[in-house]
Amino acid sequence: MKHIDILIIDDEIKFADMLGRRLSLRGITCHACYDGQSGLEWIKTHPGAVTLILLDLKLPDIYGTQVLETIKEIDPAVPVFIITGHGTREDETACLAMGASEFIHKPVNIEKLTTLLNRPRGEGT
């Protein structure tokens, strides 16, 4: 199995940590950032370091869609999963149109998420 490195951008610190720990148990390396700005900084400073990004929509500084846009500008190839507790249908449509690979509602089923993360890229969503 290919090693997977992911970045979690979510303002709920405890949630991000817990998710990180659980995914680590499942063999996925996780990095976490707690707002949009630091997330983008991390991506810029670690080009090609992650295979996937988990992104929350409601962030304290920049709205998730904007972060998504910037990520796609920096590295259009990296898959982004939106993971949110606030998502509306409009948000979902907008995010998928902007290149997000998945739109996942909180709370997350860890097994489903792991399966999604392990799915070979390039097959589409």
Among 4, 94, 108, 116, binds other proteins (CB under 8 A): 108
**Distance between CA atoms of 58 and 7, rounded to whole angstroms?**
16
Pick one of 58, 94, 96, 116: the residue that binds other proteins (CB under 8 A).
58
Q: Which stretch binds other proteins (CB under 8 A): 37-45, 66-74, 93-101, 104-112?
A: 104-112
Which parts of 64-93 interact with other proteins (CB under 8 A)? 85-86, 88
Q: Which stretch binds other proteins (CB under 8 A): 21-29, 47-55, 66-74, 95-103?
A: 21-29
Q: Tell me how far apart the terminal alpha carbons of the chain are, to the nearest angstrom.
A: 20
| Three-state secondary structure of 8-33 | EECCCHHHHHHHHHHHHHCCEEEEEE
